[in-house]
């Protein structure tokens, strides 16, 4: 009888395991049907996604990326000489600055009280900036450099600064040939570095067929995320990153924080949910500090539904599975200023 009991128990366990496997496989299919996609594994796959979305980009090279990394951390691209791209898009803090509204030149708060989006996986967004005014990362890179409340450096001054440093001049010539140091090439190099900031997560392994990559709790949260309709806006490879209507079903309770109203049609770039557990505060004006509150607010504002605390916690569990592995970035040694380098203006 003991042998029969053991066999029966083994059959039950095997049946339960098979049932869980089938449920996970079914959920993977549901996620794919909801247009959730795994991250690209290399730059060739990045190129394929860019072409698919009609986004133009220069040919990627490692040399461009290495130069772009220096420029990403280069504070002399700011008028004050103390602000770099990494100031607002800190690679050690999920690609953000961790404050509600970006702080720029002379400690100016963003005039529209806009929150700094993450730079991780940003190459895969179909549009850039909260109002979608840039279609590529290279175009996006130019904006903060020139914007007075941010880095406050006119294009001509930015070129003058970089061109005053022989090490940079040599690198630009080797990579870009006769065009050398110009504003387009500065932005292109930065964009090439940002292309490398891809963060694969357990969720990607799950989509690729690893049914054990997500816990039962995380799978339940993913199921709820799909069933509640969150994927209407948070879809694609970045679970966001495209222009969508905002305040579809209700009024955002912090709409009065700042004066941002979206583009001319009231559309707003949906933030990526990748690494979202690391990128508080949330929403375009950084007015919400917890994922639970953000999830419940999105239910009310976008879906016209009430999401309970229990449901929000379940969805939050899934969102944590989107925290990805960050590329190892060694802080670059930057060229020494010369007598020709324009002095900082505070």
* Last residue of one domain, picked from the residues 195, 212, 229: 195
Instruction: Read off the pLDDT of each residue in 187-191 and give the average, rounded to a whole number.
Output: 98
- Max Cα–Cα distance, the chain, nearest Å: 92
Q: What angle do CA 167, 168, 171 make, to 5 degrees?
A: 90
Distance CA 119, CA 327 (A): 13
pLDDT at 2 over 60: no
Q: Which of 79, 100, 228 is nearest to 161 (CA)?
A: 79
pLDDT, residue 198, reads 98
Instruction: Read off the pLDDT of each residue in 265-288 and give the average, rounded to a whole number.
Output: 97
**Is 284 a known ligand-binding residue?**
no
Q: Give me the domain span that covers residue 97.
A: 45-195
**Percent of the chain's residues with pLDDT above 70:** 95
* Last residue of one domain, picked from the residues 177, 195, 213: 195
Distance CA 280, CA 44 (A): 31
Domain membership of residue 5 (yes or no) is no
Co-location of 185 and 96 in the same domain: yes
Distance CA 59, CA 176 (A): 11
Domain membership of residue 278 (yes or no) is yes
In terms of C-beta density within 10 A (0-12 exposed, 13-18 middle, 19 or more buried), how is residue 225 classed? buried
pLDDT, residue 23, reads 85
Q: Which of 126, 316, 318, 312 is nearest to 207 (CA)?
A: 318
Q: Which of 312, 305, 301 is nearest to 268 (CA)?
A: 301
Co-location of 49 and 173 in the same domain: yes
| Residue 232, number of CB atoms within 10 A of its CB | 14
Domain membership of residue 27 (yes or no) is no
Distance CA 128, CA 155 (A): 20
Q: Which residue has the higher pLDDT, 107 or 1?
A: 107
* Last residue of one domain, picked from the residues 176, 195, 214: 195
Domain membership of residue 331 (yes or no) is no
**Is 112 a known ligand-binding residue?**
no
pLDDT, residue 61, reads 97
Co-location of 107 and 49 in the same domain: yes
Distance CA 219, CA 341 (A): 55
- Give the dihedral sign, CA 154/262/284/269: negative
Task: List active site positions.
Answer: 150
pLDDT, residue 14, reads 55
pLDDT, residue 18, reads 62
Distance CA 159, CA 166 (A): 13
Please, which pLDDT band fits residue 12 given cuts at 50, 70 and 90? low
pLDDT, residue 16, reads 55
Number of domains in the chain: 2
Residues 292-318: tens digit of each pLDDT: 999 999 999 999 999 999 999 999 999
User: Within 13 Å and on the Cβ side, how many CA atoms surround 324?
Assistant: 29
Domain membership of residue 2 (yes or no) is no
**Is 298 a known ligand-binding residue?**
yes
**Is 151 a known ligand-binding residue?**
no
3 state SS of 282: strand
Residues 239-259: tens digit of each pLDDT: 999 999 999 999 999 999 999
**Is 14 a known ligand-binding residue?**
no
pLDDT, residue 21, reads 76
Domain membership of residue 158 (yes or no) is yes
Domain membership of residue 334 (yes or no) is no
Residues 16-52: tens digit of each pLDDT: 566 777 888 999 999 999 999 999 999 999 999 999 9
pLDDT at 183 over 80: yes
Please, which pLDDT band fits residue 70 given cuts at 50, 70 and 90? very high
Q: Which residues contact 89 (CB under 8 A, 6 or more apart)?
A: 95, 96, 97, 116, 118, 119
pLDDT, residue 15, reads 57
- Give the dihedral sign, CA 242/102/279/78: positive
Distance CA 101, CA 25 (A): 41
Co-location of 58 and 149 in the same domain: yes
Phi-psi region of 52 (alpha: psi -120 to 50; beta: other; left: phi over 0): alpha
Co-location of 78 and 163 in the same domain: yes
Q: Which residues contact 310 (CB under 8 A, 6 or more apart)?
A: none
- The pLDDT mean for the chain works out to 95
Residue 254 C-alpha from the chain's centroid: 23
Co-location of 144 and 58 in the same domain: yes
Residues 142-178: tens digit of each pLDDT: 999 999 999 999 999 999 999 999 999 999 999 999 9
Co-location of 186 and 313 in the same domain: no
Distance CA 320, CA 280 (A): 13
pLDDT at 6 over 70: no
Co-location of 178 and 209 in the same domain: no
CATH number at residue 116: 1.10.760.10
Domain membership of residue 86 (yes or no) is yes
């Amino acid at each position: 009888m003991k042998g029969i009991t053991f066999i029966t128990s083994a059959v039950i366990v095997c049946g339960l395991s098979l049932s869980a496997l089938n449920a996970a496989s079914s959920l993977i299919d549901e996620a794919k049907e909801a247009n959730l996609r795994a991250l690209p594994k290399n730059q060739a796959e990045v190129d394929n996604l860019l072409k698919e979305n009609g986004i133009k980009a220069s040919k990627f090279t490692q040399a461009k990326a290495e130069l772009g990394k220096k420029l990403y951390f280069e504070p002399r691209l700011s008028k004050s000489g103390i602000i770099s791209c990494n100031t607002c898009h800190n690679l050690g803090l999920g690609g953000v600055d961790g404050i509600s509204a970006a702080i720029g030149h002379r400690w100016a708060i963003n005039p529209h009280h806009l929150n700094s989006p993450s730079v991780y996986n940003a190459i895969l967004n179909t549009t850039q900036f909260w109002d979608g005014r840039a279609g590529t990362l290279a175009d996006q890179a130019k904006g903060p450099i020139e914007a007075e409340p941010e880095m406050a450096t006119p294009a001509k001054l930015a070129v003058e600064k970089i061109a005053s440093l022989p090490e940079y001049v040599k690198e630009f010539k080797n990579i870009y040939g006769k065009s050398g140091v110009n504003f387009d090439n500065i932005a292109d190099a930065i964009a090439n570095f940002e292309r490398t900031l891809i963060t694969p997560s357990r969720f990607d392994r799950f989509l690729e067929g690893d049914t054990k990559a997500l816990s039962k709790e995380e799978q339940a949260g993913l199921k709820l995320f799909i069933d509640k309709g969150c994927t209407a806006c948070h879809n694609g490879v970045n679970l966001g990153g495209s222009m969508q209507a905002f305040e579809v079903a209700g009024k955002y309770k912090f709409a009065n924080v700042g004066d941002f109203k979206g583009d001319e049609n009231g559309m707003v770039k949906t933030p990526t949910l990748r690494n979202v557990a690391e990128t508080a505060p949330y929403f375009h004006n950084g007015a919400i500090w917890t994922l639970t509150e953000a999830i419940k607010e999105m239910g009310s504002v976008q879906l016209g539904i009430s999401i309970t605390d229990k449901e929000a916690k379940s969805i939050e569990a899934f969102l944590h599975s989107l925290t990805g592995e960050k590329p190892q970035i060694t802080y670059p040694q930057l060229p020494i200023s010369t007598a020709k380098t324009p002095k900082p203006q505070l």
